[in-house]
Amino acid sequence: MNLGLAALVGILFSVGTYLLLQRTLTRIVIGIALLGHAANLLLLVAGGRAGRPPLITNEPGPAFVDPLPQALALTAIVIAFGAIALLLTLAWRSFVLHGEDEVEDDLEDRRIGRLADGARE
Amino acid sequence: MLLALLGLHAVLAAAAPAVSRRLGRGVFAVCAVAPAATVAYALARAPAAFDGAPASETVAWAGRLGLDLQLRLDAFAVLMVLLVSGIGVLIFAYCAWYFGPRPDLGRFAATLLAFAGSMLGVVLADNVLVLYVFWELTTVTSYLLIGFDHEKGSARAAALQGLLVTAAGGLVMLAGLVVLGEAAGTYTLSAMLADPPAGGAATAGALLALGGAFTKSAQVPFHFWLAGAMAAPTPVSAYLHSATMVKAGVYLVARLAPAFALLGGWRELVVGVGVATMLLGGWRALRQHDLKLLLAYGTVSQLGFMMILLGAGVPEATRAGAVLLLAHGAFKAALFMVVGIVDHQAGTRDLRRLSGLGRRMPATFWVAVVAAASMAGLPPLFGFVAKEAAFEAYLHGGIGPIGPIALGGMALGSVLTFAYSARFVWGAFADKPDVARAGHDGAGAHAPPAAFLAPAALLAVVTVAIGVLPSFAAGLVNAAAAALDPAVEPGTLALWHGFNLALWLSALVIVAGVALFARRREVEHLQARLPSMVDAAQAYHGLVKGLNRGADRVTGLVQNGSLPVYLGTILLTVVALPLPALLSGGLPTPDGVIAESLLQLAVIGGVAVAAIGTVLARRRFAAVLFLGGVGYGVAILFVVQGAPDLALTQLLVETLSLVVFVLVLRHLPENFEVHHWRLGQAFRRAVAGLVGVFVFVFVLAAGQARTSPPVSEAYLAQALPEAGGRNVVNVILVDFRGFDTLGEITVLAVAALGIAGLVRARRRERGDEEPA
Amino acid sequence: MNVLVPLPVVLPLVAAAASVLLQRWLRVQQAFGVLACVGTLAASIALLARVESGGVSAVQLGGWPAPGGITLVADRFSAIMLVVSTAVVLAVLVYALGQLDAAHESLYFHPVYLVLVAGVSASFLTGDLFNLFVAFEIMLTASYVLITLGGSGAQVRAGMTYVVISLVASTLFVAGVGLVYAATGTVNMADLSQRLAEVPGDLRMALGLLFVCVFGIKAAIFPLFFWLPDAYPTAPSPVTAVFAGLLTKVGVYAIIRTQTLLFVPVGRPSVVLLVIAGATMVVGVLGAIAQNDIKRILSFHIVSQIGYMVMGLALFTLAGLAGAIFYIVHHIIVKTALFLVAGIIETATGTAALSRLAGLVRRAPLVAALFAVPALSLAGFPPFSGFVAKLALVRAGLEVGQGVIVGVSLAVSLLTIFSMSKIWGGAFWGSLTEQEVSPTPEAVPRPVPAGGARLRVPPTMLLSTAALVALSLAVAVAAGPLYALSERAAANLLDTTAYVTAVLG
């Protein structure tokens, strides 16, 4: 186990979470991207210690590193890119429509929230 | 055949709207075919059923759940069928005259017939779950019929009230029936009653089942919905809310009582509730001005009476209860029909505005007198026979401490019954000088057409006939009671038993009743002044209001519409749910190297710093650059870890991402807005820290659990010889796990379509804005 | 190799690709989409028949044997899910032909819809944990596009919430796969089933609960559901309908699959899941009661109903799981039908707000009937499918003495009736001219449309809705055989040997 990498995974999750809890969409997207990096690193950590890249040659050498997590991470990276690109386009669209880079509250929910507040008084 | 009869109801009900478009009010005649056929069949099968050879049918449905369509026509069912379908025929005949031409008659007839079929199902069901099925079908049809005049808010509210009260009871009953079924090992009603389960579960089940019976039969404290149900058209009140549906609870109790009356407090509960209901209903009836409400409270009272008789599980009382069921069905339906006629002809049902109708519609008057007298228990009518039998049953004792209470309650209740019966006849038909002076002398009211009155008149005739010659009914009553409880011995029904205790009691009741009626004004004033101790209707309204308010509050609290709050909740849950299990074995000990190399350690540090930079950056562009730094750093870490392909992809994707970011950021303000916001800074930091530590601990714990070598060793062995590739990661992606890659491409393609769609939507708007 | 197994994934995927090319010819594209869905449905039915007679069917994709390659596995549970979901997908597509305007359709509705179908099918069929992630992503990315179709303001706002939360869930999914791989060294589910059994019970439970959260966000369990009622109602109604019917159930499917195959809990019934089930039921239905718009009411009911399915799982008995499976089947059909009715109302009257609707029973009696049947069914009223489903769960619960959750489930079904009657009383009953004192301050006087004449509804919309309602009635009629099938499926879930053997040989 590579403790340094494991710690970095924790740190990236932590920072990503902090950004997610913001209201500005750009920050939220950055947070998601950080979480994505963290998850990919986690896959790599799960594959064990570092080793020789899994390129098969006829020369003898140290043990190969586990190739499966690499393949999984690669797929995950590409998929995440597609989703984030879409999300950014939505953000652009939202800015075009509303003129602000914020995730607004749901109007109907706020209405019921007000009703409940009214009932409390 | 039983199933076919139910089917006939369903088919005709489905056809009714179309039929009414052709035939108008003739639809009621068509609908009456179904109950008429049922009555004919029941009469034909009656002799066999009386001899203990009931007709029964089974159709498989969901046997593994105990739910098979089992139907059975025993003698008690015959009695109920005559009540349900016999009165049904008369009601349909009555409907044809009651309603003027209106466009929704087809819907009304369909619903009413659907109800008739459902009610028939209730009394035929020989499987407790099927009984529940039909039971709730009557609930739904009742809802639709009460709210038939749905333009009136009051009708809608009354319909909802009836629905909620009876459905709530029904659900409790369902639980009870399932418990009973599990305890008995069968859901077949006859089998369950023949060999009743005992013990705690059976007691609980039998008590829960009462939830349905009490609500459906409008027992205290659930009686209020029945008064509200009077918002329905009068034929509905006559049929559902006096003659049939409200007796479903009584029916169920009658079935269960012989088997379960002695289980922990069951009998005491049923009889006690019955007494309370009988008294409360009678008392309330004495202050009503609306004739329909007067009758409705009368029905409540009589339903209590039936509970007392049929819920005791005592043979003689059971028999008396069967008599009362029949008698009540006859006189109460007739009385409701009379109210409908009065309403129809005079334009009001308010006894403060009715006067002189006895002179103007004498035939109706006499029908009402006969029916009301039967209700009051006057000889020589059917109701008198029923009441005598009831007194007899309880005078014999042997019912335990609840017996005397029941007897007293019945006597007092009968006094009230006499008084409100008299009040009814007086209120509807008497000459009232003060009312006439106020201009309501009923001058516009004409006698109804003979055919309009005929159904009520027929019931009145039955009431007299059975009263004078009760042996007509004795065979039916004996057989029906014996079907409920084999211990019932056949007896005769008689008008004259000699000068026995029951007769003296009856006489006393009549004298007291006359006195009570004579002092009706004082009684009314007294009632008006007495604060009502428990107003169940208000409790219901409070409950519904509280429910609505509570729903608003809970929803306003959890569903506050804010994305950061949602995310915070989700992340906290993700941590909180697995955490106890994760920590139950203590913290995992860190085991491994800090880093592979100094270079790696340095890069790790760099990435961490860049990550924190994304938080601290005040400008959007800077934050994105920091993010890019993290991405490129991660790529280096991939290289160090021995994953060059991954690193390459990461570089490529990171660069593309940066480009997209920059493209979008061009449109956004340069700096982040500053928000002061209710999710406090401390909360965010706490959640963030928690998540980070949680993930770290989880990684350590999971990493230490590995015992077997990874499956990827096979890849290393197979890549070159079998897949022909040296780059194992590549081989995995295109060969071993090519399906993942196909999915990945699909995701990218769809995302591209989505982006294109959003861009096109924007273009179209711009195109629209430009002047053509 | 059994070609039938991958067909429900491959068919819509190929059709989607072709559909993009057919973009210019709208009619052809429409017909092509319907045809593809019919084909997928046929393949799913054939697959179910095959699994019924021949047991679990596994296909090693590319011929690479498990655990190295990706395996598609069809057992009874997945085959049932496939059949129901493709039936619903087909009905909604036909419905959409009448509802979506050309503008929406030109925004790639058809190809993306077909990709969604492929993603859903793949989720049901895959026997590989990471591939399940990929399948989810296919489905989700398609759903992102569909939910923002047209890109109106409300949609973008709601869509953003939806996308962000889904992305967080996806990231957690990848992290979960990483943790599982760290602990076991494999991602093949049959292989995992064996290797996880050797992992310490606490860690297995922690992993299992992590995945409950991951899938629970999709499945909309308490307290992870908040995004759903905000996001779903804004989309075009066919999209909402298919999301409501299907997507959350894919999450439920994944929870059930992973909890029975991978992270089998030590204690049964699982108290955690029972608590989640109860809370989900109650909070969901209370949310529904608080709403004032048909689509939002129905959205909250999705949440509430998910609780029933989780309840069946939590019991971890044959009867409980069978009840859960039956419940899912019933719910997918009924819920979709209800949303289709809501869509009809919205299309015909221009609103789904109860304060602006009234008297539809007179103006559209057929629509009223089409609403009443699934509404009663949803509330568990007999003799409809929902009653059988509820009865199965009630029996399962009482069988193992779990009276509390049974009580909660019955109480919630009363509240469901209450909430459904609000729609009935508000939209179908009442009169348009009536001036009522409304409890909500901003309620406006009900508008009087021209003459209150009969509503005009496109026939394809009525037809497909009626077909789904008929299907739900068929579920009730055929409850016996269907429940028996659910029981056999549940038996397969509880005894995983057949599954593992079919995959690993």
* Distance between first and last Cα of chain B: 74
Q: Are C186 and B711 in contact (CB under 8 A)?
A: yes
Q: pLDDT-based confidence at C151, cuts 50/70/90?
A: confident
What is the CA B46 to chain-centroid distance, rounded? 34
Strand partners, B728: none
Residue from A25, A27, A34 whose CB has the most chain B CBs within 10 Å, to mutate: A34
For residue B362, say if its preceding peptide bond is cis, omega within 30 degrees of 0.
Answer: no
Contacts of residue B524, Cβ cutoff 8 Å, sequence gap at least 6: B286, B287
CATH code assigned at A40: 1.10.287.3510
Query: Using the beta-carbon criterion (under 8 Å), do B696 and A112 form an inter-chain contact?
Result: no
Query: Using the beta-carbon criterion (under 8 Å), do C179 and A42 form an inter-chain contact?
Result: yes
pLDDT in tens, C444-471: 444 444 345 677 888 889 999 999 999 9
Residue C184: closest C-alpha in chain B: B706
DSSP states of B489-558: PP----S---S-HHHHHHHHHHHHHHHHHHTHHHHHHHHHHSPPS--HHHHHHHHHHHHHHHHHHHHHHH
Residue from C152, C202, C228, C301 whose CB has the most chain B CBs within 10 Å, to mutate: C202
Say which of A23, A34, A115 has its CB closest to residue B611.
Answer: A34
Q: Are C361 and C369 in contact (CB under 8 A)?
A: no
Residues in chain C: 505
Classify residue C482 as exposed, middle or buried by CB count within 10 Å of its CB (0-12, 13-18, 19+): buried
The per-residue b/e assignment along B554-589, b for 16 or more CB within 10 angstroms, e otherwise, is: bbbebbbbbbbbbbbbbbbbbbebbbebbeeeeebe
Query: Using the beta-carbon criterion (under 8 Å), do B737 and C131 form an inter-chain contact?
Result: yes
* Average pLDDT taken over every residue of chain C: 90
Name the domain count of chain A: 1
Residues of C in contact with A72 (CB under 8 A): 130, 174, 177, 181, 187
Residues of C in contact with A46 (CB under 8 A): 178-179, 181-182
Query: Using the beta-carbon criterion (under 8 Å), do B579 and C206 form an inter-chain contact?
Result: yes
DSSP structural state of residue B64: G
State how far residue A97 is from chain B, nearest Cα, in angstroms.
10
pLDDT of residue B439: 74
Taking the C-alpha atoms of residue C340 and residue C334, their distance in angstroms, rounded to an integer, is 10
Tell me which H or E stretch contains B73: strand B67-73
Residues of A in contact with C298 (CB under 8 A): none
Taking the C-alpha atoms of residue B611 and residue A11, their distance in angstroms, rounded to an integer, is 8
Taking the C-alpha atoms of residue A49 and residue C183, their distance in angstroms, rounded to an integer, is 14
pLDDT reading at C14 higher than 80 = yes
Residue B766: CB atoms within 10 Å: 8
Query: Using the beta-carbon criterion (under 8 Å), do B667 and A95 form an inter-chain contact?
Result: yes
What is the CA B584 to chain-centroid distance, rounded? 45
Query: Using the beta-carbon criterion (under 8 Å), do C230 and A112 form an inter-chain contact?
Result: no
Query: Using the beta-carbon criterion (under 8 Å), do B705 and C145 form an inter-chain contact?
Result: no
State how far residue A58 is from chain C, nearest Cα, in angstroms.
23
CB contact B556 to A (< 8 Å): yes
Strands B55-62 and C71-74 come out as unpaired
pLDDT of residue C457: 83
DSSP structural state of residue C31: H
Residue B567: closest C-alpha in chain C: C165
- Name subunits touching A (3+ CB pairs < 8 A): B, C
Question: Please, what is the Cα angle at B275 between B326 and B245, to 5 degrees?
Answer: 40
- Name subunits touching C (3+ CB pairs < 8 A): A, B
Residue C460: CB atoms within 10 Å: 15
CB contact A69 to C (< 8 Å): yes
The tokens 């006195």 sit on which residue?
B515
Say which of B661, B677, B727 has its CB closest to residue A88.
Answer: B661
Residues of C in contact with B708 (CB under 8 A): 184-185, 195, 198
Q: Are B216 and B248 in contact (CB under 8 A)?
A: yes
pLDDT of residue C445: 43
pLDDT of residue B499: 76
Query: Using the beta-carbon criterion (under 8 Å), do B615 and A18 form an inter-chain contact?
Result: yes
pLDDT of residue B533: 57
Alpha-carbon distance values, B467 to B251, B384, C328 (Å): 23, 7, 58
Contacts of residue C282, Cβ cutoff 8 Å, sequence gap at least 6: C304, C307, C408, C412
Of C453, C64, C253, C9, whose CA–CA distance to B714 is shortest? Answer: C64
Residue C12: closest C-alpha in chain B: B746
- Name subunits touching B (3+ CB pairs < 8 A): A, C
Domain assignment of residue A65, given as a range? 3-120
pLDDT of residue C90: 96
pLDDT in tens, C328-347: 999 999 999 999 999 999 88
* Chain C contacts in chain A segment 13-42 (CB below 8 A): 13, 20, 25, 28, 32, 35-36, 38-40, 42
What is the CA A56 to chain-centroid distance, rounded? 32
Of B322, B323, B328, B326, whose CA–CA distance to B301 is shortest? Answer: B328
Instruction: Output the CA torsion sign for B15, B21, B23, B27.
Output: positive
Query: Using the beta-carbon criterion (under 8 Å), do A83 and C144 form an inter-chain contact?
Result: yes
CA Rg, chain C, in Å?
22
Query: Using the beta-carbon criterion (under 8 Å), do B705 and C195 form an inter-chain contact?
Result: no
Domain residue ranges of chain B, discontinuous segments joined by + = 2-518
Strand partners, B727: A55
Which of the residues in chain B have pLDDT under 70?
Answer: 441-443, 532-534, 673-679, 767-772
Query: Using the beta-carbon criterion (under 8 Å), do C171 and A86 form an inter-chain contact?
Result: no
Say which of B705, B736, B756 has its CB closest to residue C68.
Answer: B736
State how far residue A44 is from chain B, nearest Cα, in angstroms.
8
Query: Using the beta-carbon criterion (under 8 Å), do A13 and B691 form an inter-chain contact?
Result: yes
CB contact B692 to A (< 8 Å): yes
Residues of A in contact with C293 (CB under 8 A): 108
Residues of A in contact with C290 (CB under 8 A): 112, 115-116
Tell me phi and psi for residue B306, to 5 degrees: -65, -40
State how far residue B613 is from chain A, nearest Cα, in angstroms.
10
Taking the C-alpha atoms of residue C383 and residue C371, their distance in angstroms, rounded to an integer, is 16
* Average pLDDT taken over every residue of chain A: 86
pLDDT reading at C261 higher than 70 = yes
pLDDT in tens, A9-27: 999 999 999 999 988 888 9
State how far residue C366 is from chain A, nearest Cα, in angstroms.
30
Q: How many CA atoms lie within 13 A of B726 on its CB side?
A: 6
**Residue C73 structure tokens:** 């596995």
pLDDT reading at C432 higher than 90 = no
Query: Using the beta-carbon criterion (under 8 Å), do B136 and C130 form an inter-chain contact?
Result: no
Of A17, A102, C216, C236, whose CA–CA distance to B562 is shortest? Answer: A102
